[in-house]
Every structure is written in structure tokens, then in C-alpha cells.
Chain A
Amino acid sequence: KQEVTQIPAALSVPEGENLVLNCSFTDSAIYNLQWFRQDPGKGLTSLLLIQSSQREQTSGRLNASLDKSSGRSTLYIAASQPGDSATYLCAVDTSGTYKYIFGTGTRLKVLA
């Protein structure tokens, strides 16, 4: 059974720092991996999608990498801002139907 783990569970950093969020999964047979952002009381917003054949994706200050063989993905956030404060969720699709298995998330707080 696929299990997704995110480390750390919570993170607090001063504004301007670069930071890395980690995601690991137990079964490397995935179709794709997504990173989502969740703000309190709101739904999820997709940040980056990495297909199984890809190694990384970039969007603005965000960069996500994927190493299927080791079952790991990282989300790199450059020059963090208070507006980046949210919970970041990693999710893998193991069925090809976009039925995602989510990690428990990393709660990020960026201090002004």
C-alpha cells in the first residue's frame, strides 16, 4: 500500500530564507506527483505537477524535483515571503486516474 510521508511537519523561517520541503513515498510505481498549497479554510491549489518521466518542474520561486527510484520529491521555495505561509501537501497518483494519495503536509510559517 502506498504511503506518503512529509518532513518536517511544521517549519518556521524568517522572510527571505530559501527552504526545502521533503516528501517520500513507499511505492515508486507512480504516474505523477503534485505539490499543493492549502490555506486555512480553503481548498487546495495545485502548485507543481511532475509526471513520472520528469525529474523537475519550476514555477516562479518554486522548484519541485522527483526521484522515483528513491521514492522522494522535494519542493524548493526561494526567497520565502510571509504570503507563502500555508500548509504544503504532496500527493502521488498511483492509478493513472488522478486519485491522489496525500501526505500529511508541512505547515510553513514565514515570519516578516
Chain B
Amino acid sequence: GAGVSQSPRYKVAKRGQDVALRCDPISGHVSLFWYQQALGQGPEFLTYFQNEAQLDKSGLPSDRFFAERPEGSVSTLKIQRTQQEDSAVYLCASSLDETTVEQFFGPGTRLTVL
């Protein structure tokens, strides 16, 4: 499809495990965003890439969270030593470039930490 895809769609992890969440943006999109959405809340910004450069990571809640986009396309959000409070839906969005307003969102990955 032509939209933003995320995998896996659902992930259950035991507390303390590491997880990796993948985002495939729309082909050619320069900007990529990660958001965390807790149950019943709005999404909260985590980090922003322009191509492979991570320009803003101010929203990452702790140093257990790490995001990368090494070739400027696919991005991975990694969470080390998961904790129960990490349970949320992780949304990825992409946009054509830094001047384009419209962001296209993926369906999200629902992470449950037991």
C-alpha cells in the first residue's frame, strides 16, 4: 500500500525485555515523527527525523528509549528494559518535507508490558 505502515501491530513484552518497533514511511517522505499514545490520552511527541538526522528527541521519556533512521527511510523505535508504564500505542507519522504540513499517520503498534 501507499500509506505509512508499522510493525508489529501488537506486541506483548514481559517487564525487562527489549522491544523494537518498526515504521515504514511513505516512500520519499523526508520527515518522520514518533508519538506515544497512552490509553484515553492524546498522542505525545517523542522524536522527529529529517532524513537520517534526528533533529528533536526532546519527547523521549528516558534513556531507555532510542530511535534511529539510518538510511533516511525506515525508522525503528527501540525500548530497552521495558516497564509497565511503557504500555501504550506508538504512532509513526511521515510528511513530504519540513515545509509540508500534512502528516500521514500509521495504524500504530500497541505495546503491552506485563
List the one stretch of A12-20, A40-48, A65-73 in contact with chain B: A40-48
Q: How far is the CA of A42 from the CA of B108 in the complex (A)?
A: 7
A32 and B101 in contact, given A42-B107, A43-B107, A99-B56 (Cβ under 8 angstroms): yes
B103 close to A97 (CB less than 8 A): no
Query: In angstroms, how far is the closest chain B Cβ from the Cβ of A44?
Result: 4
**Contact residue among B35, B42, B45 (Cβ-Cβ distance under 8 Å from A105):** B42
B48 close to A97 (CB less than 8 A): yes
**Contact residue among B44, B59, B98, B107 (Cβ-Cβ distance under 8 Å from A97):** B98
Query: In angstroms, how far is the closest chain B Cβ from the Cβ of A26?
Result: 15
The 14 listed contacts between A and B (C-beta, < 8 Å) are A4-B42, A44-B91, A46-B102, A89-B42, A89-B43, A91-B43, A98-B33, A98-B95, A99-B33, A99-B45, A99-B48, A100-B43, A104-B41, A105-B42
The range of chain A's interface size is 20 to 34
Is the CB of B105 closer than 8 A to any CB of chain A?
yes
Interface residues of B, Cβ cutoff 8 Å to A: 4, 31, 33, 35, 40-45, 48, 55-56, 59, 91, 93, 95, 98, 101-103, 105-108
Is the CB of A77 closer than 8 A to any CB of chain B?
no
Interface residues of A, Cβ cutoff 8 Å to B: 4, 32, 34, 41-46, 49, 89, 91, 97-105
B44 close to A102 (CB less than 8 A): yes
A101 close to B4 (CB less than 8 A): no
B108 close to A104 (CB less than 8 A): no
Besides A32-B101, A91-B42, 19 more A-B contacts (Cβ < 8 Å) are A42-B107, A42-B108, A43-B4, A43-B105, A43-B107, A44-B93, A49-B101, A49-B102, A89-B42, A97-B55, A98-B31, A98-B95, A99-B33, A99-B48, A99-B59, A101-B45, A103-B42, A104-B41, A105-B41
A43 close to B42 (CB less than 8 A): no
Query: In angstroms, how far is the closest chain A Cβ from the Cβ of B106?
Result: 5
**Centre residue among A32, A44, A105 by max chain B CB count within 10 A:** A44
Query: In angstroms, how far is the closest chain A Cβ from the Cβ of B9?
Result: 8
Chain B residue at minimal CB-CB distance from A91? B42
